[in-house]
């Protein structure tokens, strides 16, 4: 996604690792023990940030629909209790009408991009966090934990794209479908208008009726111009913007339908 709601949270980890690595450099005997403790600190911090990222995605999804819905989600998922493994993420997607298929496709895409199993790296961090938090046992190194993060974080991006990003994709499809439907109806209106002019030529319709038909056709044409503009805006639209574009497209479709009905009725109003 072009505008990720979790990118800033994940970028904080880079600075944290750099600071810990500077305080306890790799290869120095005197900092070996503290570096190991730093590894435990890092995996705990990573798990906390990951959990916050999942909550942000869920709340961000709810924000798209209604403020009250957003508050309900924020309260309900204030504590995820580390339920952020892949299976839990899929459960969230199913519950909120996200796309688990899109999630799987993104996982495969990032696997190829990173040349590694991103889920394996992601869940290794969660396992390491449990070992340190509950048994005070460090089962990874500082550099290994950071490597797991650099690869595993894409699971969260895939989750975001499968939930919030899926709304954007579905809205784009809806706008395009609305445009296609509008275009067909508008073409029918143009045909009916030409037929009405033919009826005028043989004296079966009045000049006033043709003028009224032309007025409705111009209104339909204007709506088609607006729909073309909406299609252009859709290309770089954010998820929130796409929702507004769907509404606008549907309003133009309603006007095109109304214009078509008016032209059809006038055409039948023969002398």
Whether 176 and 142 map to the same domain: the answer is: no
Q: Residue 271 above 60 pLDDT?
A: no
Q: What are the tens digits of pLDDT across the range 60-91?
A: 889 888 777 778 887 777 667 778 999 999 99
In which domain, by residue range, is 260 found?
Answer: 168-268
Whether 112 and 216 map to the same domain: the answer is: no
* 7-20 burial code (b ≥16 CB/10 A, e <16): eebbeebeebbeeb
Whether 19 and 58 map to the same domain: the answer is: yes
How many CA atoms are closer than 13 Å to the CA of 100, on its beta-carbon side? 11
CA distance 211 to 193: 10
Q: Please, what is the end-to-end C-alpha distance for the chain in angstroms?
A: 59
Domain count, the chain: 2
What does each C-alpha distance from 264 to 185, 213, 258, 259 come to in angstroms?
11, 9, 10, 9
Note whether residue 157 is domain-resident: no
Q: Residue 246 above 80 pLDDT?
A: yes
Cα angle: 82, vertex 143, 33; to 5 degrees: 90
Note whether residue 100 is domain-resident: yes
Whether 145 and 173 map to the same domain: the answer is: no
Which one of 117, 152, 187 terminates a domain? Answer: 152
Question: Hey, what are 173's tokens?
Answer: 């499809």
Whether 189 and 128 map to the same domain: the answer is: no
Q: What are the tens digits of pLDDT across the range 97-139?
A: 889 999 999 999 999 999 999 999 999 999 999 888 777 788 8
Which one of 152, 187, 202 terminates a domain? Answer: 152
Band the pLDDT of 179: cuts 50, 70, 90. Answer: very high
């Amino acid at each position: 996604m072009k505008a990720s709601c979790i990118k800033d949270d994940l970028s904080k980890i880079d600075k944290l690792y750099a600071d810990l690595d500077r305080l306890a450099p790799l290869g120095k005997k005197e900092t070996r023990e503290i570096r190991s403790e730093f590894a435990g600190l890092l995996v705990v911090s990573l798990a906390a940030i990951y959990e916050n990222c999942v909550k942000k995605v869920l709340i961000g999804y709810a924000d798209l629909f209604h403020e009250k819905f957003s508050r309900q989600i924020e309260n309900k998922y204030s504590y995820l209790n580390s339920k952020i493994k892949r299976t839990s993420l899929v459960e969230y997607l199913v519950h909120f009408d996200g796309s688990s298929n899109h999630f799987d496709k993104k996982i495969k895409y990032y696997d190829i991009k990173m040349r590694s199993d991103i889920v394996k790296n992601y869940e290794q961090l969660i396992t390491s966090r449990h070992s340190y938090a509950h048994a005070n046992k460090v089962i990874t190194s500082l550099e290994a934990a950071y490597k797991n993060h650099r690869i595993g974080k894409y699971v969260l991006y895939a989750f975001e794209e499968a939930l919030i990003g899926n709304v954007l994709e579905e809205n784009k499809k809806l706008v395009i479908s609305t445009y296609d439907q509008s275009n067909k109806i508008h073409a029918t209106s143009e045909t009916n208008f030409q037929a009405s002019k033919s009826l005028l030529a043989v004296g079966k319709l009045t000049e006033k009726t043709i003028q009224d038909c032309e007025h409705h056709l111009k209104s339909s044409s204007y709506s088609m111009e607006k729909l073309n503009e909406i299609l252009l805006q859709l290309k770089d639209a954010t998820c929130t913007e796409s929702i507004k574009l769907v509404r606008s497209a549907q309003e133009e479709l309603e006007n095109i339908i109304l214009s078509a009905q008016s032209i059809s009725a006038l055409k039948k109003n023969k002398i």
